[in-house]
Every structure is written in C-alpha cells, then in structure tokens.
Amino acid sequence: MARLPRLYAPDTPQLAQVGFARPLALPSQPTPSGRLNVLADWVKEAALNEKVAVHGWVLLNDRLILLATPPGPAHLSKVIQAVGRRYATRIQHGRVFDGRYRSALLQPGVWVLPALVWLENLPVRLHYVDQAEQWPWSSARLHTGHVATRNHAPWETSHRDYWAEGNTPFDRQAKYRQRLQIGLPPRQIMLIERAVFGQWALGDDAFLQRMQMLSSRRVSPGSPGRPRKEAPASTPAAAPSDEA
C-alpha cells in the first residue's frame, strides 16, 4: 500500500508520534534516565536547528511525541530524522524507529489543549508516575509551574491557546494543572489517537474544509462501508400501441 503524503498547513500545529523499534527499557526494569536525558537534549537541539516551535513533548520508554508548529512541510520530519541518526550511531545500531512517524493536524482553539493534556498525561495513564509533573521528560513541568517560565529552554514555545488560559503565569498554571488532574473524557482520547494513527486533521467542518483545500489527499476518514451505487435510470414507459 502506498504511503499517505504528509499533511501540512502553514501555522497549523501538528501532533506527531514515533515509536522506538526496541524500548529503552522494559516495564520491570529501572527508568533509563541517562538515555532519556540524552534523547531529550537531541530533540531540543534538532528543534532549534529546524526552527520548529515545540508546544509540548514527552519521551517514554517506547515513543517520542511532539506537539509542534513547523515552519515548513519538511521541518518536523527533519527533527525526527536527526534524532534517529544520532540514536543509531551513538546508542543503538540498526533500526531506531518502528516505522514512519504519524501525525495529525489540530484546529487551534479547539484541539491544541486537549492534545497537550493527552500527551503530558501519558506517563500517568501508562503507570510510569502518579502525577504528570513527576515525569521529567515532558513539558508538563513547564505548563504547571514546576519550571520557572523565565528559565525554560528556548525551544519550548507555549501555544497561544495555553496563554489564553489566564492573564498571569499563576492563573495559566493553575487552570492547566486542573486540566491535567481531570484528564480527558474517553471520546476525546479516542478521537486524538484515531487522528494520529490515521494521519488526519482534527477539527470542526470549517477547519477540515480549509485543510482539504491545502492538501492533495483527504484530511478525514471517509464513511465506513462501500460507496453507494447510483440507482439506475428508470426506463421510459413504452408508447401505447395502435394495435387492438
């Protein structure tokens, strides 16, 4: 089956996920802090080099997830490729990722914050930690105030949807902490994961229509089942005969 072309639209955030071909550690093993620290540094460096605005991120034993707005269609791919090349030459030779990264386009004002909650809460949902802020290899500490905003790395660029949470850092952090604690309803989780896995756009009808105009392929799943067949044209009635 042919690969789907990447979806890209200017100034539109993407949620991207790539899995490692071999986990950094098994669930029964200690957290591979050294490798996670090195990988986090490589992600930061690659994002800065490619001028990709990273709004959220998480590194787990089996995957890397980024919520970012790239400046062009190839920049996010280059970030992940750069991390993969360094990983293959310095940590583990051979295949690094379990396949291509998958990504979804997100409608600002609607899906950016839910996607951020989804990725930053993954360490909790997967039983790595009890609270998102306890996992050092994500952006949760920045958004909840555990890292001073003035001291955060320049590669982390909070999205304007996060800034709209409040007028002061304290307000934003408090409201976002509440979002993390509450989590997402199952339907939102399902829609986010389906969009990433299927490499679709996620938003309302108007957003999907705009994305469709910018894309060379469908941006949302089609209706299930086979296409409807058109009903055959009705045969015109025969003219009455003159015969008795």
Mean pLDDT across 4-18: 90
Count the neighbouring beta carbons within 10 Å of the beta carbon of residue 41: 13
**The CATH number of the domain covering residues in 14-214:** 3.30.70.1290
pTM reported for the whole predicted model: 0.87
User: b/e map of 56-88 (b: 16 or more CB within 10 Å)?
Assistant: bbbbbbbbbbbbbbbeeeebbbbbbbbbbebbe
Mean pLDDT across 124-149: 90
Q: Percent of the chain having pLDDT more than 70?
A: 85
Q: Please, which pLDDT band fits residue 7 given cuts at 50, 70 and 90?
A: confident
What's the confidence (pLDDT) of residue 214?
83
Residue 217 has pLDDT above 80, yes or no: no
Average pLDDT along the chain: 88
Q: Which residues pair with 54 in a beta bridge?
A: 68, 156
Mapping DSSP to helix (H, G, I), strand (E, B) and coil, where does residue 21 land?
Answer: coil
What's the confidence (pLDDT) of residue 220?
86
For 139, the token pair is 């952006």
- The per-residue pLDDT for range 162-180, each reduced to its tens digit, is 999 999 999 999 999 999 9
